[in-house]
Structure 1
Amino acid sequence: MADSYSLPRHAAESARLNDQHHVLKTISGFPGLLHPCILASLQTARIADMGTGTGAWLLELSSQRTQDSYTGLDISAAQFPSEPPSNITFDVWNVLDPAPPQYQGCFKVVHVRLVGLALVGEQFSVAARNLMTMTKSGGWIQWGEADAGDITHRGLVSQALKALYSRGLKVLHTQGRMLDEPRRLKEVLEQVGFEEIEEKVVSVDEVEAVRQGFNKMFVGAFSGILSEAGTEGEDGDLVGDAEKAVLQGSWSNCKFHVVVGQKA
């Protein structure tokens, strides 16, 4: 199946993804990068990261838990690190395809974050079923998504920031993306059979320390979305004006959903 990701994969986007990792780590509030109920169950484990991109999440976790082995998976190898640590391997896999035999039933933890720009509608359920086949009995999934379909504007409200998000969401909605998937994520995992499900929903406004960083990250993402769609120049310097607005104290708020579940 073709790569349907909505963002570019150049060096600037890789840098944005690395910054995004640190922002989302703070927003989720998990000091060990994993939900406490998952960490409490871990000894030595095999851990997968789906939609790994630059591998930022894996690289940090592997520096904390050197006893574990890690596999980063993505539909493209374009942003994989060139010299990963010896306990991390990277591989190309489309989550909409059945899991390769070597990955079936072998991971204690499967981590997923922000794959909403690569999936449409019922593809979330397809992905969840495939990820479940990778998870060993008693293992866990942790899946996080930002609800970009429910953005509110705060602070020194900027028309440029609102216009950028409106333009980007129009592109995403035309593609069938970013509708109510983050709000349905718990239901999706329940339907495919995960148990002991917990959901944490955090408003970006609750984490003032990363509010500006989150909005800079979001502006960068929406800039990439417009660039990939070929519509970046339709509203003048909309991205530049939105970037200035964020630096001047304007921000937009959305909710970040993290859902964890266990395989029986």
Structure 2
Amino acid sequence: MGSRQQTPEYLLGRGLIESIRLDAQHTLFRLHNGYCLHPRVPVKDDMKIAEIGTGTAIWLFDLARQLPPTVQLDGFDISDQQFPHQSLWPSNVHLDILDSLTEAPGRLVGQYDVVHIRLWTSVIRGNDPGPLIRHASSLLKPGGYIQWDDANLEKHTVKGKAAERFEKIVQHCWQVMDIDHRWLLDLPHRVEEHGFTLLDSYEGEFAPDLIQLCTNTYLVILFGMLEVVKAGPEGKILPSISECSESLQAVYTETRYGGSFHWPPVTVFAQKK
């Protein structure tokens, strides 16, 4: 297994804090959805499930506890830096490096019953998730399922004066870094355009008891992102890192008094025709 370093397209680090953040966001979606694998997926002893952009593989590790050990669980990511050591993998889990924005290798085409996607919102460029959807579709058998959880960063939920100020900084940073999240506004239709039948989708808000967890993990994301991009692209100006950090800390403090700065979830479950 090879190793890939952080790529320019990925704005977040892959160290301890980011790995903990990914695991916390798994808890967030687990509680929000009420399931790990969508309940409409028919479970078979010999089925194969893939996750693209697997990160710490926490979703696969959780799933391995629920499914028969004969189910094959494969996780792919462009970097192996957040993979747990191989000695810790469940016997039916395998992790490997793969760029899921390119054409899938022939050995993987048409092999899987389910492909899971989570939190690609700031990885997609050009407002076009098409390459990712086509890659996922190519991995699936006819009749296979795509299960997708994401964060609609185009529609922040903002409550409090500090959150309102910080939201302006964040939107400016997205613009400077040329990151467009509008595709999340129409994800179910985008998936349908690529040969899937939509079976279930949700676009709304987290329950009140999950808002703090979403806010906390999002603030971790933003702090990490601001650290990575603080220099800004050549010829473009970002707010100073001190200004961003002070504003972010003010948002966190404000949450103790009822403030909030989080994103609404988007979930899509569809079947390949």
Q: Given the two structures, how large is their TM-score scaled by the length of structure 1?
A: 0.89
Aligned 8 A contact 1:48 1:72 in 2? yes
SS for the counterpart of 2:90 is: coil
- What corresponds to 2:82 in structure 1? 79
Q: Which residue in the other structure is 1:187 paired with?
A: 189
Cα distance in 1 for partners of 2:169, 2:77 equals 27
* Letter of the 2:58 counterpart: A
Structure-1 separation of matches of 2:150 and 2:180? 10
Q: Give the structure 2 partner of residue 232 of structure 1.
A: 241
Instruction: Report the counterpart of residue 252 of structure 2 in structure 1.
Output: 243
Note the alpha carbon deviations across 1:105-142, whole angstroms, 9 max, x for none: 00100000101121113541111011100001111001
Q: Tell me, in whole angstroms, the C-alpha distance in 2 between the residues paired with 1:174 and 1:194.
A: 34
1:151 aligns with 2:152: no
Count, aligned residues? 255
2:140–2:272 contact (8 Å) kept in structure 1: yes
* Other structure's SS at 1:172 match: helix
- The 5 Å alignment of 1:20-35 reads 20-27=25-32, 29-31=33-35, 33-35=36-38
Q: Indicate conservation of the 8 Å contact 1:50/1:110, yes or no.
A: yes
CA distance in 2 between partners of 1:202 and 1:26 (Å)? 15
Give me the whole-angstrom Cα distance separating, in 2, the residues matched to 1:197 and 1:177.
29
**Equivalent residues in 2 for 1:118-129, closer than 5 Å:** 118-129=123-134
CA distance in 1, matches of 2:229, 2:221: 12
Contact 2:251 2:261 in 1 (8 A): no
Secondary structure, counterpart of 1:136 in structure 2: strand
- TM-score, L = length of structure 2: 0.87
Indicate the RMSD between aligned Cα atoms, in angstroms. 1.9
- Report what 2:15 is aligned to: 10
By how many angstroms is 1:218 displaced?
1.0
Residue in 2 that maps onto 1:202: 204
* Counterpart check, 1:96 vs 2:117: no
CA distance in 2, matches of 1:64, 1:132: 25
Q: Residues of 2 paired with 1:193 and 1:236: CA distance?
A: 44
Q: Secondary structure at the match of 1:203?
A: coil
1:181-209: CA deviation from partner (whole Å, max 9, x where unpaired): 211211211111112443112312xx112
For 1:30, the aligned partner's letter is: G
Deviates more, 1:3-12 or 1:174-183: 174-183
Q: Which residue in the other structure is 2:144 paired with?
A: 139
Give the aligned partner of residue 234 of structure 2: none
- CA-to-aligned-CA distance 1:209-240 (integer Å, 9 cap, x gap): 21111111111111111111115323452232
Specify the SS of the correspondent of 2:50: strand
Output one character per residue of 1:124-181: Cα deviation in whole Å (capped at 9) or x when no partner: 1111011100001111001121111111323xx141x333333223222333324212
Unaligned runs of 5+ in 2: 231-239
Matched AA of 1:72: G
- How far apart are 1:56 and its partner, in Å? 1.1
Asked whether the equivalents of residues 202 and 267 of structure 2 are also in contact (C-alpha less than 8 Å), the reply is yes
Structure-2 residue corresponding to 1:213: 213
The answer as to whether partners of 2:166 and 2:248 remain within 8 angstroms in 1 is yes
Identity over aligned pairs, percent? 25
Number of the residue aligned with 2:265: 256
